[in-house]
Amino acid sequence: MRFEPTEEQELAQRTARDFAQRALAPRAAERDRTGEFPERELRELAGLGLLGIAVPEELGGAGAGTVAYALALMELAAVDPSVAVAVSVTNMVAELIARAGSEAQKREHVPKLCGGDYLCGAFALSEPQSGSDPGRMSTSATRRPDGGGWALRGAKQWITSGDRAGLMVLWANTRPGSGHKGVTAFLVRGGAPGLGVNRREEKMGLCGSSTVGLSLDDVEVGDQDVLGPVGGGFKLALGALDGGRIGIAAQALGIARMALDAAVAYAQERESFGVPIARHQAIGNLLADSATWLEAARLMVLRAAWRKEKGLPFAKEAAMAKLLATEKAFEIVDAALQIHGGLGYTRDAPIERGLRDVRVTRIYEGTSEIQRIVIARHILKEAAGG
């Protein structure tokens, strides 16, 4: 296994870093205050090839692979996690359609996701009563009387970019009462008749990322909008979430790296008892632990990304990476705030925003508790020889 990025991976990382410093850094704090959606930034990211990093070039993507995607997302999240999460979800939706869609679906939708024509994508799985348990979803898909398509009815919750996405993958149950066996994925265009957007959530962090509920009142979709087989949506969702966890773990690492860099710089400037606080053992220990956790989590994230890119099983590794990266990222940012003292608790330093932004990474794309369930199932199956 290579421990250094290839030229192509370095290019994706450098492109994301340069864009983040040039276009995101000047407005990140303002976006956090105002909640402005990063429309202009997403269109520029599309032009740079960062909305379809691992999508094949023939479908409009960069074809750079999952490792490049993880590295690029770390760079974006280190400056503006609100933008990074919109990028992450759009990449996930584009990859899912590229992998599971029909040839017609791929040709019609994937280039528009990667190229910015749709602005961004959305992943509409969660519902008010079925977040971590999609088998309980109540959104229904009913055959139209003339047999020419489906009518979607129900509600979705916690949908990132749900009010801005030009296209979303939305899950509904075609066999109510059958659990996950009836779950089917549909392609739904933003603004479709009957698709309502509920209020935008006022969140603790990621304030520049739009999170909304959706209502579906007989939203009509055709048979050509069914993604994968009817009743096969549960498997598609799990596969997409496995890959999405790599993205969220990378996002957490970007935030943590920002916080650690700020803490190292501040600890060398701030003096107490006549010396920089970095020379006090208590502060040095916080920095040492944080750097060790960050590097360990980074290696786990890149290992999961590498396995996905090579076509190897990666679900367990992705769950492990997300669990470690998000849990330790929160501890790293908290330690950085402690090192900054009172300054870290104010909006004069980026640490306060980082702590609010990083907290949700332990929740979405599967909570830490769900990751432990996934990991345990895998290791028990392996122990049984499965």
Identify any residues that bridge with 142 across adjacent strands, giving them in sequence order: 151
d(CA 72, CA 59): 20
Say yes or no to pLDDT of 221 above 70: yes
Domain 235-383 = CATH 1.20.140.10: yes
CB of 216 within 8 A of CB of 139?
Answer: yes
Three-class DSSP category at 285: helix
Express each pLDDT in 66-77 by its tens digit. 999 999 999 999
Are the beta carbons of 263 and 287 closer than 8 angstroms? yes
Closest by CA to 246, choosing from 318, 152, 344, 174, is: 318
Closest C-alpha among 31, 159, 19 to residue 78 = 19
* SS3 label, residue 28: helix
Query: Would you say domain 122-231 falls under CATH 3.20.20.80?
Result: no
User: What's this model's pTM, rounded to 2 decimal places?
Assistant: 0.94
pLDDT on residue 2: 66
For residue range 260-305, what is the model confidence (pLDDT) as tens digits?
999 999 999 998 999 999 999 999 999 999 999 999 999 999 999 9
pLDDT of residue 252: 98
Model confidence over 81-113: pLDDT tens digits? 999 999 999 999 999 999 999 999 999 999 999
Fold of 7-119: Butyryl-Coa Dehydrogenase, subunit A; domain 1 (1.10.540)
Distance of CA 281 to CAs 266, 293, 321, 336, 344, Å? 15, 18, 30, 15, 20
Residue 322 and residue 253: Cα distance in Å, rounded? 10
- 11-85-304 Cα angle (round to 5): 60
Task: For the chain, report the end-to-end CA distance as a whole number of angstroms.
Answer: 25
Map out the domains of the chain as residue ranges. 7-119, 122-231, 235-383
**Mind telling me the catalytic residues?**
365
Token readout for 305 is 């990304």
